[in-house]
Every structure is written in C-alpha cells, then in structure tokens.
Structure 1
Amino acid sequence: MLLTTKFLRPAADPRAIPRNRLLQVLERREGKRLNLVVGPAGFGKTTLVNQWSATQTLPVAWLSLDANDDDPRRFWQYITGALVHAGFAELEKCQQAFNTYAAHELEGAITGLINGLVENVGGGMNLVIDDYHQIQAAEIHRQMTYFLDYLPPGVTVVLVSRTEPDLPIARWRVRQWVDDIHPQLLAFSEDECHRFFQDCMAIRLSKDEARRIWQKTEGWVAAMQLSALSARNRPSLGDVQSANLIPDSSRQINDYILSEVLDQQPENVADFLLDTACCLRLTASLCDRVRESRDSQEMLEALSQRNLFLIPLDNRDEWFRYHDLFREALFQRLQQTDPDRIQTLQSRAIRWLLEHDHIQEAIAQLVQLEDWPWLAGVLEQHGNNLIHGGFHLPVLDWLDKLPSGTVESNPRLSMLQIWGHFFANRLDALEPRLERLEDLLDRRVADSHPDAEGALGLHSEIALIRSYLARTRSDLKSASDLTQQVLRDIDHTQIPLKSVTYYGLGLDYFGRGDLPAAEEALQSAVSHGQIERKPSTVLSSGGLLAWIQFNRGHIDLALESCISIRQWIDRHYTDPKQPKLLSCWQNCALIEIYRERGELELADTYLAPLLGHLEQGTEPGQHVIIQYARAHLAFTRGDYEQATRALDDAERVLRGRREHIVFEPPNLAALKARVHLAKGELELAREWLEHRNPEEFRNPLNAEQDAITAARVMIALDKPGKAITLLTPLRLSTETGQHNKHLIEVLTVYAEALDREGKTSDAMPLLVEALKRSSSEQIYRLFIEESAVVHALIRDTTSPSVDSRYLQKLREMLPETKVRDSAPKAGAKTLADLIEPLSARESEVLELINEGLANKDIALRMQVAGTTVKAHIRNLYGKLQVKSRTEALARARQLDLLK
C-alpha cells in the first residue's frame, strides 16, 4: 500500500516571500520537459517549487521521496500513484503494470505509462518529484532518462534535489528541454538573506547588518556565502561593509574569492584547497594520492560542513566537486604561485584515475596538461577497450590531438585509428590505412624490430578487419579463411581479439544458415568479450545470438540471453549520463520476442530508442534491421501503411549501401508481399511472386522465408497444389537445419493448402504438430497473422497432445470472426460471414475511411452531419467486431468488402 501523504504538497508558508525571478524561470514554455532545482538543504528549493505549483492552472502531481524509494519498482509505483492522486484515474492500469511486470520488463511498463499520458493528459500537466537526491540506483536513473526522452508534449517534470542528478542534463540542455536553477541562481531577498546567515551559516546579524550585506551582494548567493565566510574570520563586520562591490569580471571574481575565502583559511585548509584544485571530482582516496597524505576524508567532511563551495555528488560523502568559480580561482592562484607544482599534482591525479579505471577523466586531464607522449601511451593501452565500449569517436578525436606523424609512425596507434574508423562505419577510409600499416610492419620486420610478438598481433588484427571487409563484398570464402587464420594465431598474441573473431565466425555461420554452429561461436564471443571487457562486442554477439535463437523458435532462451547480457552490461558499465549502450541485434530480437507473444507495449519499448538512431544516422546494416523489425511490428498491429513505409526505406538504404553491410539483411521483399496480401493487393503479391529470385539468398533463413511467403501467395491465388509442391521439400530442410520457427510456419501454411484442397483430415495432423512445437515457447502471433482458414482449423483442433491452456489462450487471441462451417471452395472471395450485413451507407463510410478521410471530411463528402458519420462508424465497428479504423480496414480486406 502506498502512503498518500507522500502525494501531498507541503502546506504553504505565509512567511515565504515570492521569488518572481525564479518563478519565471520555472514557467512553462514550448519544448520544455524538465525543471531542475538543485541546492543544499535550507536553500528554499521545496518552498520555491511549492510557490510555483500554486500558480499553475494545469494539474500538479506531487511526490516526496524518501530513502525507501530507491528501488525501481517502488519508485515507479509511487510515480503512477502521484499521477492517479492528482486526478488521472485512467492511469491506474499503468500502476498495476508496475506490480506485475518482471524487473527486466519495467521499461515496458514505463512505455505504457508514457502512452497513458499521451492518451489522458492532452491538455498538459506537471509532475513534481521532491528530494530526488534520495535516488542512488543507477537503474532508476536510466529509466528516468528513458521516461524524459519520450515524454509527451505538455507534460513538465520538476526535479528537486540536493545533489546534481545522475542524468544526461547536458544533452537535454542542448535540445533546450531543461531550465535549471542551481545554488548560484538561488538569489535571496533581504529577509531571506537574514535567515541565510542565521540558519545556514550560523552567523547572527541584525536586520541592518543583513541589509548592508544583501545590498552589497545584490542577492547573489555565492557572494553572500563569501561574505559570511569572510565575516567568520574577522572580529567585526566593519571589514565586510568596506569590501569592494560585487565583481563584474572573471578576474575580479577570482580576486574576491581568493582574498575573502582562501586567504582567510588556516594554512592546512588552504593547502588542501590548492592541492586538489586540479581535480574535476574529489574523493578521499584521490585526494590522498594527490596530496601524499591520509587525512583527506576528514578534510572533505570539514569543508562540507563549513559550506566551503563543496558540492556533494552522492549521499554517502564519497564524491564531491568544487563550485566551478571556486575551483577556477584556486587553480589561478596555483598557476600564479607555484606553476611547476601543477604538473606534479595533475600527474598524481592522472595515475590514480588510470589505476581506478576512470580512463576518460584521466585522458581529459592529459589533454589539458598537453602531455602528448603520455596520452599516446594511455591510448595504446586502453584505446581498444574504449572503442569496443562505444567510444570510438572520442578516441578518434584524441588521436587527432597528437602531434603530426605520431599515429602514422606508431603501429599500435595506427591500428587503433583503423578500428575507430571501422566502428564509425567509415569503411572507405580503411584500405589505404591498412596498406600503410602493413608497409610499416614490413619495414620493422626487415629492421629486426624487437617487438615481433606485437607485429604478429597486429597482423592478426589486420586479417580480422579484412575478414569483415570481405563480408561486405559477399566474399564469404575470403572472410572465412581470414577468420580461421586469426583463430590459428590468436593464442600466440597478447592482444584481446577472441571476442571480435568469434563474432565474425558467428556471422559466417549465420550467413550459411548453420544456426547451431553460429550459436556456439556467438556464445564464445560473449564469453571472451566479458573477459576482454568489450561491452559493444558482448552486446552485438549476444544480440545476434538472441536473434538466431528466436528464429530457431527458442523464444524463452532468446529472452534469457538478452536479459543476462543486459544485466552484465549494466553491472559493469553503469553511467546514466552516458548514452545507453545499445545493440541493434538485441533490441530487434526483443521487439520480435514481445511482438510474437502479443506484448506490443514491451516491443515498443525496445523500438523507441532505435528510432532515434534512424533519425541521427546509423550504419546501413543496422538501419535495415531496425526498419525490418519496425515493419514487422506495424504489420502485427495491422498498420500496413507504416509497414510499407519502413520497408521502402530499408530497401532504399539496401540498394544504395549494400557494400557497407557485413551480413545478409532479412528478406524485406517477402514481408512486403505479406503486407500486400493483408491489404488485399493480390496483383502486387502476384507480381512479387512472378519476379522473385530464390537464388539471390545466401542465408537459408531468407530463402525459407521467401518460399513460405510464396506459398501463402499461391494459396491466395487459388493455387494450393503449387503451394504444396513448394512446401514439401521445405518441411524436410527446415527440420534438418533445426530452423524450428520456420518449420512451424511451413506446417501451418501446408495445413491451410491441404484444407483448401478439401483434405482437412490430412491438414489437421500438420497443424497439431505446429501447435505442439509452439506451445512450449508460447508462440502466438505467428498463428494470429495467418488466414481465417487457419483460425477455423485451430478452433476445431481437439488433439489432447496440444497443451490445453496454451490452446485456450491462443483461441482467445484469435480475431472474433465467424467462419463458415465447411472449408471454403477454391477461388472463394470471402473467408468469413458478418454478424449482420453492412448497410449501403455503412459500406460508403468504409470506402471513405479506406481513402484516408477524417470524420469531418466524410461528413462533407456524404453531405450529412458529423454526428451521423460517428453513428455509422459505431455501427460499422460493431458489425466488423473491431475497435479502430486500422482494425476495421484489416477485417474488411479479409472479408473482401473493399473495392
């Protein structure tokens, strides 16, 4: 049970003074998704947001968090609870989803919540989450990132926190989604100034004294804090009154900070501040290394208690950072007084960062230090893992910063640059670089260079790159030969190549249709990738593994693979501020898994982030796979126009950039032919059938899909005998190749063909075998997307060998059409009877809906009132037993009701 008191806004404080300037910052504007209010305790954050909430005309849902809410399921239960409490009762079903979904499926429930907001809060609303600093779970931060990335227009989230949330705020600022108020913007009024000195800084001032400081600082919180710290160390306030006015330049700000804060500190505190000014983030262990001491934790806690411009980054007093202005001033003092010491301090910091695996932060320091030899060494050692962790573009940028000729004269850096271009899909840039590297290695061998082992390892990497390039040329023999060469040499090198090599081997087996061998190779790629710490390779290998497991009909195993790999990634590579590592293969496998099981909202969850990749530009192979999965999901929904658009786009990319794709893409044309059938476009389906070329496919999965679809078209064209001729050898090959999902499709379509020939007694055993194979994996959509004849056969199935619970659920999911008792004759135009025939007006409305007209346009065309059109549509839906336009058109085509 949820505590309703957490949904209550705090009682208004009549003593609180409205802060209009900040209230204006929080006001709604076009494109805004997030208001972020960050400041220490006692800075009036909650009071400010409460004042703003009181001015809103749109509903405000309020949630106050506590430490117990740092659990994903509980957190989202309270989020939906706050929305329901604010008056959106329709979202109760979303709340129930967070109770029932498995932990790894919570993003599906979040997708349902987003969709619920779209449907139910069209006028807009506000969601305030107070005390967000209570949230430490990285999983919740990732989920909140997803929620805000896809937040519908009109919904504004307000986060109130004592610490900066671990969210991609910088990315959202670039998109102008965020307005934020940080401590330096929480300017105080005169009365607030008095309370600030008394309650926060423990300095008792009279109203007159507070007024003088407030006038001097003009309400600037950072300057007031400076004045307070200065006043602490002076016998009277006279010096405060005589200080300069608020500085108006960076130099004056620095001078003010140095004179009013740093110079007033005890020597040990000042030394600590100066010694740690080179660190962008602070933790005790790092500070101990930089200072060569052991008391840094005590110093950090003391500085935090003194409010000395130290901003906590967590709730455990482990990580901090200085206020930017404060750190810049400290660094300037160090440059003025002891510039030679800067390099020593930064070097110590860099070594600590490297030892503790903060590689990117260490590299940022090296770039600032301009220590190019050290940077080159760090990239040699860590660049490979960075590239395989998804940071190939930053690595290329860092390589470009090295002095001219450094990369070209260093084989390891040259290879690193080649990998960077490979993962950036700049394949045209690879060949000349590979040739230059091979020439360099040959010269080193001729000169008897001592690094013979390194040269062997680089030759293996070159062979591996060339194997992938061979795949883009459809030269599978060369690709296989090169991969096998790498496997022979790999144990003699120290370079971690096994994961990438086995991934290539998995691609080769997949291309040949040897799915068991492909699974074995990809499982090796995942295992070695985890050992080698290559998350991108683990995701890609695991994603393709799940895709293959799905297509073999092992859906539970495919889902288990996706979940276990995602959990490994999230355990070892957890930084919510960085873009989430995604695998096109894995997300598309999950789309297919949840689509097949009828959990379409979960399928949407994994499609949504891929659409962003399409918009921003992704490599062509991924583009095609994404659009294929998108089209299949749209086909399942009956949105045939969306399916066609996605397939057309995929075909365009495939025609233009086939040479950049290292695998054979799915059979786009076969899926489009199924769309034609569903839309009743028999002539287009016939045209595809006449022009299909089964010999074009290297991957047997694509060839099988081509043949199964051809059989469907033949049946639709009243040629079931030809379909049987095509399916007979396919039944044996899919069973021999262990392509179980395709075998289920073959058996199902085969059964329909036999039934069309009047051989229902022969058809039933085939359908029963298909259902038996499907029941263990909970396969549903495959049958639902078949014809009404198949649906009738399923309803008539009485075999005890099929799991009764599975069969009952499948029957419940079938469209509620009333099929004729006897099998339809060859050439029959209608597959089902209506409950009641459509009237002439209803038929006219159906045709106009098919033209894509809106209700008001239909009313104009028919010269009737809008309410009359709505009545016709309501009656039409009832007779067709559907709930939407898309379903109505799909059912009408199935019944041959459209011209």
Structure 2
Amino acid sequence: MEVSTHKLFAPPIYPGAVRRRVILDRVLQDNSLRVTVLQGPAGHGKSTTLQQIKTAHEARGWRTAWLTLDDADNDPRRFESHMRALVGLMRGGAAHPEADAAWVGDAPPDLANWMLDSLSGMETHASIFLDEFQALRNDAILRFFRFLLSRLPAHAHVFIGSRSLPEIGLATLLVNRMATVLRADDLRFTPGEVTQFFAESKDLRVSAEEVGAIYRRTEGWPAGLQLFRLGLGSPEVRTSLVDPEDHGPRELAEYLTDNVVTLQSPRIQEFLFKTSLLRRLSAPLCAAVTGFDDAQDILEQLERSGLFVRALDSDNRWFKYHGLFSSFLADSLHRSSELEVVSVHERAARWYLAQHLPEEAIYHALSCRNFSLAAAILSEWSSRLISNAELITLERWYDRLPFDHVANRPVLAIKAAYSLMFLRRRAKLRPLVDLMNQHAGCGDILQTTSPDLCRAMARLLFEDDLHAALDIIDRPEVLQQEVSGFPAFELGAACNVLSFGRIAAGDFEGARKSLMLARAHSERGAGSFVMGYTTAVSGARLIVQGKLNEAIERYRADMLAQHAPLDKSFAPAVMAAAQIWALYEANDLAALEPLCAQFQRGISECVTLDFIALAYVSISRMHDARGRSAEAQEVLEELERMGHDSHLDRLVSLADWERVRRAVLAGELDRATALAKRIAPVCPPLNPQWIYMADDMEGEAFGRIRLAIAHHDHALASQLIARERARQTGRVYRDIRLYVFEALMLHDKGSPNGAHRSLRKALQLARPGRYVRCFLDEGRAIVSMLREEYQHFLQSAADGQAPADPDRDFIELLLAASGTDLGQPRGRHHLTDPLSEREKEMLQFLANGVANKEIASRLFVSENTVKFHLKNIYSKLGVSGRVQAINAARTLRLVS
C-alpha cells in the first residue's frame, strides 16, 4: 500500500506563536490520562496546540508520531497502512508500513492488538497525535478506536484534534478517568494570551484598547486573532474596532479575509485565488494552474508571513492553506469567474494525471464536471484499487460519477460491480447488473469487457441462483485460459463458483480440479480475493467428505503460508467463516470464540450465503454450548435480518430451522411444531440431487427428520432418512448426521440393538476426522447412548475381555466434550503428585475436547510426547482415561 508521507508530518511551530501555557500545564501535569481530545470548530488552533504538546513531549524524551486524517482514510485498507506507518515512525523506522495491512471487514482487534503490542514494547512514554479526526465516518474504523483506546498501556497517550466530538467511547473513558476533552472555550485565547499575541508584532503598534476590542470581537478565537493581525495594516480594519456591531465568526472571518487579501499585490492575489481551489499545493502544481514560474518562492513567502499557509513536509515541497482561508478565497473566485474555476480544476486534473496521482486527478476532474476524464481515470485506477482491496475508495468515486459515464465504459462498469458485490451494496449494484444483462455474451474477457462472469457472480451472491451462475460460467474454453491481472481475478472467482456447483452436485473430484485452476489463476496475479475463497471452499469440500482434521490443518497452513497476507479486507472473512464451521464441528471452542469476535461482522458484510449460514449457525451453537442462550438467539435474529435485508430466503429459512432444533432439544415440541409450520418454503435446487453446503449442517431436511422422531412418527422418520441417504454418495459428513438420526429414531422406537448399530456406523465414519458436535448437538439421548457404549468397554475391560476397539478413545473424546460424568464417586479423586505447568496446560486442552494430534500441533511437540504427559496425568489423578481425567480434574477444580 502507498503511504502519503505528508500526512505524517506535523505542522511546524512558527516564530511568534503564543505558547498555550494553561493548556500545556493541564495536559502535561497528568500522565495518567490516556486520551486527550481537542474539539472545536475550524480556526480554534487545535493543530497548533497539538504540535506544542508534541514538542513538549519530545523535550521530555518521549516517542511521538503525527497523522493528519482525511476523507480517504475511511477506506480501512488505506487507514491501516497509515496507522502502521505511524507506528513505524514512532519506533524509529521509515514512513512506510512495517507490515502489509490485513484489515478485515470487522476485525479492528487484529490491527489494534498489533498496535497495542508495539506500544507495550516501548520502554518510554509514547504519544500519538491524530489531527482532523472528524474526517473519519467508517463504523469499523471508529470501532477500532473504541477497542484500541480502552486498552492503551499506561505509558501510551493519544491526542486527537477534531471539529466534532468523535464516537470513540469517550463516555466510558471519561468515567474511568482515562480521558479528558478540551472544547472550544478551553482553546480560546485568554486576555493575557491575546495581549502577548499582539505584543509579538511590534511594528503594528496595537494599543491596549485595540487589543481589548479585538478580544471582545473574537472572544479569543485564534483564527480571528490571526486575521486581525494580518489585516490591521488596513485602516478600514482598525476603524472597525470601534464599530459596536457584533459579527459571528464566519462573517468576521470573511470580512477580515477580504481585507487581508486586498493588502497583497495584484499578482499575489491572483495566485491566492487560483490556488485556493487546490487541496494541497506544490510549486509545479501551482505553476501549472497559475502560469507563475516562481511558485516555490511565493509559497515560502506566504508561509513566512503567516498567511494561513503551512508546509506539509520538511522539504517544503507540499503546502496547504488553512481551511477557512481557502474556502473564502474559493468562494470569491466562484463569484467572480466560474470559467476561471473550471480552468483551474481542469489544469490541476491534467497535472495530477501526468504525475500518476489518480485520486487528486479524479477530484479535480469532477470539480470541473469533466465526467468523461474522471471516468477514464477511475477505469484505469480501479484495477489497482481492487487488487489492494480498496473497495470503499472505488465505491466513493463511483458514487460521484453520473451513471451514463460508467455505462459507456464496460471495464469500469464491471470493476465497479465486483466492488459493490463484495461490499454487498445491493441497491447500487442493481443498475449495473441490468446494464450487463443487456450486453450478455458480448466483449472479451482478456480486455475486461465481457460482463458474463460478473453477471454470474451477481446471480450467486445476490439471487442465490447457483444454477444460473453455472450456466453462464461453465465454459472450459474460457476458464482454462492463461491470463494475468484483472482477467485472472475474474477467472479465478469463476472457478470458485464452479467448485461450489461441483460440491453441490457431489462431484468432489470435479470440485478439486476447479479449485486447483482457481489457485493457478490466483498465482498469476488474481489477488487474494480469489485465494481466500479457494482456501475456504477447499476446506469445506474436505469437511463434507469426512476429512475435518485435514480441513483444519489446511486452513492453518494456508494462512501461515501467505508470503503477502491475504488482501486484505474480505478474503480473510470467508476463510474465517469456513474455519469457524470446522472448529465448531471439532468442538475447539477455545480457538473458535476469538475468531467469532474478530470476524463476525466481516462475515455478515462480504461472504457468500452458504458460508454466512455455516458461520452464524456455528456461532449460535457455540453460545449455546457455553450456556449463553440469549446470545445464541441474538445471532439467529441477526442471521434472519440479513436474509430479509438481502432478499435471501434461504438464510431466513436456515435461521428458522435452527430455532426448531433448539426448541426440540429444549423439550418444547408444540413450539417447535408451530415454528416449523410458519417457515416459508424456499425454491429447491433445479436438480433435486443437489445439496447446498449449508444444508449439510442444518435445514429443512434435517429439521423434518428431527420433528418426526420427536413426534414418535418412526415410519416418516425412516422414510425421510432413506430419501436423504439416497440423494448422494460420498457426503460423509451428511452420512454421519443421518446415522445419528437413525440411532435416535431406533432408540425412541425401542430397538436398542439397532440404535447402537447405527450409532457405531456414525462413530466409524466420524472417528477419522474427529467430528464431535454433530453428535452432541442432538441432545441428551445421544450422550446417553454414548455412555452405554463406553460402559460396555469398561465392563469388557473389567471382565478381561476388552476388545481392541479404536472407537473407545473416540467415545472418550465425545463424552469428555459433553461434560458427562461416568458415575465415579466425587470424593475419591485426589492428586498423588502435583501437576507440572505443562501437564496443567494439557489438562485444559483435554477439558476443551482437543484431540492428541491437535494438542501436539499447538504445543509444537510430537504426539508421543503428548501421550507420555497424558499417562503421567492419568497416574497422578488415579484414572485410566480421558473422561475420568476430566471428571477428576473438574472435581478437584483443576480446570474450568
């Protein structure tokens, strides 16, 4: 990511600036404050005061860093890059990110934790200065600050300058005495400071009466004072001091600005008016819009004279006018000559374009209503924006273009559509999809002018129509082309969609080949959007096929293997969604919970329907497993809202069927039946043999089987199970679920032998992948049957007839995860010897239901080492296996 280094440069302290002693004493005397906010309208000296605080901290030997925020920082990717650069400078590095940005839709803890670690590692006090904070409006970024500021270490301090009071959790910080707010009245100059301010300008000879009049007129407003100091050379301004008429700040500033400008030579006035339209100034740019070849000398002269111009870097290459000053100058130019306004913006746009600075070029092109030029610039720039995952930036400029200028540029229309799809902007996307439908079958993928692949993605993401998407993209002659750049992105995304279809159809080998092709396109420059989805779908394919452990290992390996972290907003969200499903099924709730907290909002914003459903149902069930029923219900309500908001009926249905499951397990059969009757039917796949990925976890098929068993309608349950079993082969995860249902049905029917045969078939299928929750989520009856199976093993061992059955260890794992007590007297447990720290760590893993292989992976030891420690633990606890060890540990309060 590019970093605008001028944003990291603090404004200089100019000669004659009044030292804000009262404010400095207030801020510097209390180092317990973590956050200080300077809040006031434009012209209240926030930046100057922040700079004085920064200088005072540096004199104490503190580490400091400065960042001036702007509207572009509402794109999380760009924001993160500048925050990382800021920390890099504070730690003595260069003004570039120390690590590639990896912001996720709702993953502020990721960046915040990195920053907190960086700040905590500093051996001295550190202060961060953030100016123009009011420019930030992005909810995710504001959440990031709420997270960060509430956890700052004692030696870290953040100072914020803002025109409005920022939504960063200030109320809590103030109550906890971690923050203070200096408002406009605090920032105003005192009468003594006003006297000192004018005493520095001895050549003006300002009398005490005039100073008093100025103070009364400005009420200590710093910008007004500076304007008076600049304008007192005008007799009219001096005369106005005896005028009793009161003016508000804006009228006063406009009046003074006019007088200040009239004191300048005609040539300087021309320079000021024309360059006032520029958001930042450099000598070559100013020369391009004014024709003056001495622009550098003029800029430096204006800065020295205090005429509201400040340098943005130490080399005096870039400058900026004070916002109030430039806005009044620009208003005057608009009133005097609209043609000149257009000419300045046009020249500025061309200059920025020649310098390869597209954002500034687009701004000026739009300002002079040259929409054709702006669209051309954005069309070229959009490839880089998508590659860098700066989708919000692309959306921001797309919103400012008239639609017909986008429609006339197929490349821009397609790239904008992809951006809006990933941002889930349904209403904005609709006109683009309608446009592309009119041109179906046209264009060339290599030129990025074919709308077909984009149309297919829209059909999948916004209409949940996988069949229609596959009808468009299942074209081997297109998908197998060797391309690079943006076409590779499109083809890689299309291959991922194709793999969805192959998995739904049960063609797992075809899915594997499609995923390999997607990976190949990603490696040819498709960007990590493609790679993130490829990884997620690859793991999901393994889970469906009964290879849960392999899927979890692949997710971890793929994330670790990324040399350049996944771009950078949304690919990690879909990977997290798939990993949440996998970790939940493995009952690794300890690893699952932080992942949910980090990625839940991102998943809701940018992930395909099936992964949203799988993640949200897993998160809801995790809350239930932790005893948080209200939170589980809230997650389902959010899932339902997403379904309604996005017009995705299948999401609503999945949320409702999950409610039915919860009601059945709670013994509320009447409520479960009533809920099921109210669930609106959804359109089934055109091919009745297809099974959507989310339906392998929950949905109507499983819900109706569960209800039939609860109603003791064994004939219907048997019929439904047989029908589902006949739909496909090779879906091992689904087969496990169906055998569990069959065991429950036979148990309820009073056929214990048949029930245990079906349960053992489920165990045999689940054991290699270590599936856990698909057993435990069906309630107490399954746990009771597992206990019976385990008691059979124990009895056989007591009789000396213990068979070498691999299911025993797996049943121990399941029972340990269920928290079941096999009946050992509680008082008999005691430790023969104290546990080591490593043994305590392993005991906690046992309590969380983590398998031996996974424990070895997490602790970076061999599986044999794990077994060695477990034998020691069993010996010290006086038990013979996992379940007994967990029961003993809980009795002795060794684990939570």
Give the structure-1-normalised TM-score: 0.58
1:487 corresponding residue in structure 2: 479
The code of the aligned residue for 2:556 comes to L
2:37 corresponding residue in structure 1: 35
Q: Is the 8 A contact 1:36 1:180 kept in 2?
A: yes
Q: Confirm or deny that 1:309 pairs with 2:308.
A: yes
Q: Confirm or deny that 1:646 pairs with 2:635.
A: yes
Q: Is the 8 A contact 1:457 1:494 kept in 2?
A: no
2:575 corresponding residue in structure 1: 586
2:64 corresponding residue in structure 1: 66
1:604 Cα deviation after fit: 5.0
| Aligned match for 2:495, one of 490, 495, 502 | 502
Runs of 5+ unmatched residues, structure 1: 1-13, 24-32, 51-61, 79-101, 115-127, 446-450, 574-579, 772-779, 825-830, 836-876, 888-899
CA distance in 2, matches of 1:148, 1:754: 52
Q: Confirm or deny that 1:755 pairs with 2:753.
A: no
The code of the aligned residue for 2:109 comes to E
Q: Is the 8 A contact 2:531 2:571 kept in 1?
A: no
> Could you give the per-residue CA deviations for residues 232-282 of structure 1, whole angstroms, max 9, x where no partner exists?
x6899967957997754856633421321x344467765554343222345
2:617 corresponding residue in structure 1: 628
Change (3 A) 1:511 1:602: same
CA distance in 1, matches of 2:315, 2:508: 49
1:414 Cα deviation after fit: 5.8
> Could you give the per-residue CA deviations for residues 382-418 of structure 1, whole angstroms, max 9, x where no partner exists?
4566578777788678667666866666655665676
2:558 corresponding residue in structure 1: 561
1:322 Cα deviation after fit: 3.0
1:94 corresponding residue in structure 2: none
Specify the SS of the correspondent of 1:132.
strand
1:228 Cα deviation after fit: 2.2
Kindly report which structure 2 residues correspond to 1:118-517, keeping only aligned pairs within 5 A, or say none. 131-133=128-130, 145-150=142-147, 161=159, 186-197=187-198, 210-231=211-232, 247-248=247-248, 253-260=253-260, 262-265=261-264, 270=269, 272-282=271-281, 290=289, 303=302, 306-310=305-309, 321-336=320-335, 339-354=338-353, 359=358, 362-382=361-381, 415=414, 419=418, 422-423=421-422, 437=436, 457-458=449-450, 460-461=452-453, 464-465=456-457, 468=460, 472-475=464-467, 478-479=470-471, 482=474, 484=476, 486-488=478-480, 491=483, 495=487, 497-511=490-504
Specify the SS of the correspondent of 2:558.
helix
1:88 corresponding residue in structure 2: none
> Could you give the per-residue CA deviations for residues 737-775 of structure 1, whole angstroms, max 9, x where no partner exists?
xxx45499999999978534436644664566999xxxx
The code of the aligned residue for 1:253 comes to A
Specify the SS of the correspondent of 1:66.
strand
1:189 Cα deviation after fit: 1.6
More RCO (CA 8 Å, sep 6+): 2
The code of the aligned residue for 1:43 comes to T
Farther-moved stretch of structure 1 (521-530 vs 367-376): 521-530
1:107 corresponding residue in structure 2: 109
Farther-moved stretch of structure 1 (150-159 vs 395-404): 150-159
> Could you give the per-residue CA deviations for residues 572-601 of structure 1, whole angstroms, max 9, x where no partner exists?
x7xxxxxx6575323335656887999978
CA distance in 1, matches of 2:111, 2:446: 50
CA distance in 2, matches of 1:438, 1:143: 34
Specify the SS of the correspondent of 1:228.
helix
Q: Is the 8 A contact 2:277 2:330 kept in 1?
A: yes
Specify the SS of the correspondent of 1:258.
helix
Q: Is the 8 A contact 2:474 2:498 kept in 1?
A: no
CA distance in 2, matches of 1:486, 1:410: 22
Q: Is the 8 A contact 2:276 2:330 kept in 1?
A: yes
Change (3 A) 1:821 1:615: closer
Identity of aligned residues (%): 16
The code of the aligned residue for 1:634 comes to H
1:803 corresponding residue in structure 2: 863
> Could you give the per-residue CA deviations for residues 132-153 of structure 1, whole angstroms, max 9, x where no partner exists?
25999xxxx9998544345899
Change (3 A) 1:634 1:113: farther
Q: Is the 8 A contact 1:540 1:585 kept in 2?
A: yes
> Could you give the per-residue CA deviations for residues 696-721 of structure 1, whole angstroms, max 9, x where no partner exists?
78993751562475489689989586
1:687 corresponding residue in structure 2: 710
CA distance in 2, matches of 1:434, 1:475: 17
Q: Is the 8 A contact 2:284 2:295 kept in 1?
A: yes
Specify the SS of the correspondent of 1:280.
coil
Change (3 A) 1:295 1:519: farther
Change (3 A) 1:347 1:252: same
> Could you give the per-residue CA deviations for residues 439-475 of structure 1, whole angstroms, max 9, x where no partner exists?
5578xx8xxxxx8788994154366447737993353
1:534 Cα deviation after fit: 5.7
> Could you give the per-residue CA deviations for residues 834-881 of structure 1, whole angstroms, max 9, x where no partner exists?
99xxxxxxxxxxxxxxxxxxxxxxxxxxxxxxxxxxxxxxxxx99795
Farther-moved stretch of structure 1 (349-358 vs 292-301): 292-301
Q: Is the 8 A contact 1:636 1:781 kept in 2?
A: no
Runs of 5+ unmatched residues, structure 2: 1-18, 28-34, 68-81, 91-101, 117-124, 673-704, 777-781, 823-844
Q: Is the 8 A contact 1:112 1:601 kept in 2?
A: no
Change (3 A) 1:392 1:44: closer
1:631 Cα deviation after fit: 1.9
Change (3 A) 1:146 1:188: same
The code of the aligned residue for 1:507 comes to F
Q: Is the 8 A contact 1:193 1:210 kept in 2?
A: yes
2:830 corresponding residue in structure 1: none
Q: Is the 8 A contact 1:591 1:629 kept in 2?
A: yes
Change (3 A) 1:212 1:361: same
Farther-moved stretch of structure 1 (366-375 vs 557-566): 557-566
The number of residues matched between the two structures is 731
1:821 Cα deviation after fit: 7.0
Q: Is the 8 A contact 2:483 2:524 kept in 1?
A: no
Change (3 A) 1:536 1:304: farther
CA distance in 2, matches of 1:568, 1:149: 25
1:333 Cα deviation after fit: 3.5
CA distance in 2, matches of 1:879, 1:520: 51
Specify the SS of the correspondent of 1:194.
helix
1:505 Cα deviation after fit: 3.3
